[in-house]
Chains A and B, each alone.
Chain A
């Protein structure tokens, strides 16, 4: 029954994407051009990586709003570090550094959530301020425009380059492979490992999971480290693709990511969610944001659209659940 319901949400989201694609391509045929599709994919990379981390948190029944702070912290510190030692090698080293920073910050979250058993929203609200405040006060608040060459060459690395009808080149950055890898890893962990089963169990019912023998603390340690690592890598990718390290960036987009994850079928109370759904949700949000501009709607309306999406995307399942509850209660009473 659960699998059926899951499949249902993802199908709905996929249908919504197709529907929107049809609408937008009618409004502005540019929508279906290769360049635009590549643009949409490019915009999905960073958000997608964030969303995968948030998915794991939400499936476990928690919520994390500090991942954007972790991302910008990791990005900025990595850039400063690489510049300080004038590192000329491959960006792989940069990604490892960013991942380690993200891991460390994620462990701080894990400490408060697993060890002290604090509410995840309030902890991550606190750590968001903690990390960002520390970054801006101690590390620095200067915009860095001349990022290391390794980052620039990574950003310019293209997976596919196609010559479009009007003679220009449309290219898909290789960074999309990072997203694919992250999605694969997340999917494997959630579907095929006991750890993944434990995450779903924790989200379903902490009591039941504990009694079934799942090591709750260790699972939570993994969850918040995982989202930390992903955020660190995503942050550095963001810096590369944007060709600058701005310590004031990224924070503020948490809601878009959470909206995407919830839209993709993940239940905020935990226990339900999938990688496919999340990726579809991200794509849907990206399409909405990017295509509003194509359709001629000013970007100031973006927030309104996202807000409506969150409300409808969470309202419908909640309402359905209430109706199901009421029916169950009535059935039991008879």
Chain B
């Protein structure tokens, strides 16, 4: 179906075109296998759950309920994927989501009264959305500056900002929840042409980021940076700018997720979704994103988030008689993450492509073949 010969065609003088031509089909062929396997996994889980709970699982009500639940997680997963593609990680996305949601809620309660007319309500809602997105951008900006320009390892930088943003949320709310207004809830509960709004938002974002990653120069740079930051630096790509933009986008996505949190729960808390990070990382890795950087697709991510949603809802149904089903799910996600990582270790079964994770490092090791300058630090990022 796809050939690898394109790269060696001697007539191609335009290096950039040759590279793109070589890169695209090569990525596609390996991705096909991953996608096919993920599709099988998703279908298998769906079938298993339907067989286990034939009365409740494969129903329209359930589909609707599931399609409202997974978008917030899916959006966080896209954010995690973005930063993972560059070889880093943004652990602060949930904190950004919460902060954005909290500030949006505050704006809403100040500007929109419960019985306000639609016109005034719309104005208030728009203001709240803008505030939330602005917060996301600011938080993402800080992350990007710390990782890109100051050069702090992404893990530590985002651990620090996670604490900072959660701290802000705690200070603002005093530790409790803040509430939205009823007019806002349609973002969580409403439909547009029969499709639930959260699902619509997720679909739009998935398509948008698929385009960004596959068809823009920025997207290519993200993949390149994740594969080999030394090479990108010497290719004239500004690593700092790419990283800044990546974390900026991640923050923005976090804010959008926060808006959906608020709309669905009618409340925003400083510590909502604390297990979402783990799940988002799980989805990203299951979806074929290599945490060392450089590989991963949106399609894989979508299939992974669907698989996880089927599993989550199925588990809920199966465990309904036990009191601690949430705890079991916590155990299950941890076990699944480890399982997926171990499967990745065996070349034949691998879900992700690219570098195998090097142990003893939360940070990727440099490519020794390119290490000419002994004084250069191990981490150009």
Q: Does B360 contact A (CB under 8 A)?
A: yes
Chain A residue nearest to B279 in the complex (CB): A129
9 A-B contact pairs sorted by A residue (CB < 8 Å) = A120-B359, A125-B278, A126-B338, A128-B278, A205-B378, A207-B368, A303-B163, A310-B160, A328-B376
A133 touches B329 (CB 8 A): yes
Segment at the B interface, from A23-31, A81-89, A180-188, A313-321: A313-321
Q: Does B152 contact A (CB under 8 A)?
A: yes
Q: Count residues on chain B whose CB falls below 8 Å from chain A CBs.
A: 61
Measured CA separation A129–B356 after assembly (Å): 23
* Residues of A with C-beta under 8 A to B165: 307
* Residues of A with C-beta under 8 A to B175: 300
Cβ contact of A300, chosen from B171, B324, B365, cutoff 8 A:
B171
B332 CB to closest chain A CB (Å) equals 7
A62 touches B341 (CB 8 A): no
Chain B residue nearest to A306 in the complex (CB): B163
If the complex has contacts A133-B334, A206-B365, A301-B171, are A321 and B360 also in contact, measured as CB distance less than 8 A?
no
Determine chain B's interface SS by DSSP, over half rule.
helix
Measured CA separation A322–B377 after assembly (Å): 9
* Residues of A with C-beta under 8 A to B167: 300-307
B99 CB to closest chain A CB (Å) equals 12
B160 touches A114 (CB 8 A): no
A126 touches B337 (CB 8 A): yes
* Residues of B with C-beta under 8 A to A262: 156
* Residues of B with C-beta under 8 A to A136: 324, 327, 330
Interface bin, chain A: 35 or more
A116-B345, A310-B160, A332-B375 are known; give 18 further A-B pairs, CB within 8 A.
A117-B359, A119-B362, A125-B277, A129-B275, A132-B334, A136-B327, A137-B327, A137-B328, A258-B159, A268-B155, A270-B361, A300-B167, A300-B175, A303-B170, A310-B159, A311-B161, A311-B164, A328-B373
Q: Which of B263-285 contact A (CB under 8 A)?
A: 275, 277-278, 281, 285
B285 touches A62 (CB 8 A): no
Measured CA separation A70–B250 after assembly (Å): 31
Q: Give the interface of B toward A (CB within 8 A).
A: 89, 146, 150-153, 155-157, 159-168, 170-171, 174-175, 275, 277-278, 281, 285, 291-292, 324, 327-335, 337-338, 341-342, 345, 356-363, 365, 368, 373, 375-379
Chain B residue nearest to A129 in the complex (CB): B334
Residue interface mask A133-164, B partner, CB < 8 A = 1: 11011000100000000000000000000000
* Residues of B with C-beta under 8 A to A206: 358-361, 365
Determine chain A's interface SS by DSSP, over half rule.
helix
Measured CA separation A63–B330 after assembly (Å): 21
Cβ contact of A125, chosen from B166, B337, B361, cutoff 8 A:
B337
* Residues of A with C-beta under 8 A to B285: 122
Task: Give the 7 A-B residue pairs with the shortest CB-CB distance, closest first.
Answer: A133-B331, A307-B164, A129-B334, A303-B167, A304-B167, A310-B160, A130-B334
Cβ contact of B150, chosen from A118, A306, A318, cutoff 8 A:
A318
Q: Does A33 contact B (CB under 8 A)?
A: no
If the complex has contacts A134-B331, A136-B324, are A314 and B361 also in contact, measured as CB distance less than 8 A?
no
Q: Does A17 contact B (CB under 8 A)?
A: no
* Residues of A with C-beta under 8 A to B330: 129, 132-133, 136-137
Q: Does A203 contact B (CB under 8 A)?
A: yes
Q: Does A193 contact B (CB under 8 A)?
A: no
Which has the most chain B C-beta neighbours within 10 Å: A119, A141, A315, A328?
A: A119
Cβ contact of B361, chosen from A112, A120, A129, A300, cutoff 8 A:
A120
B334 CB to closest chain A CB (Å) equals 3
B328 touches A133 (CB 8 A): yes
Which has the most chain A C-beta neighbours within 10 Å: B162, B330, B342, B356?
A: B330
B163 touches A314 (CB 8 A): no
B233 CB to closest chain A CB (Å) equals 10
B342 CB to closest chain A CB (Å) equals 5
A255 touches B162 (CB 8 A): yes
B373 touches A130 (CB 8 A): no
A215 CB to closest chain B CB (Å) equals 13
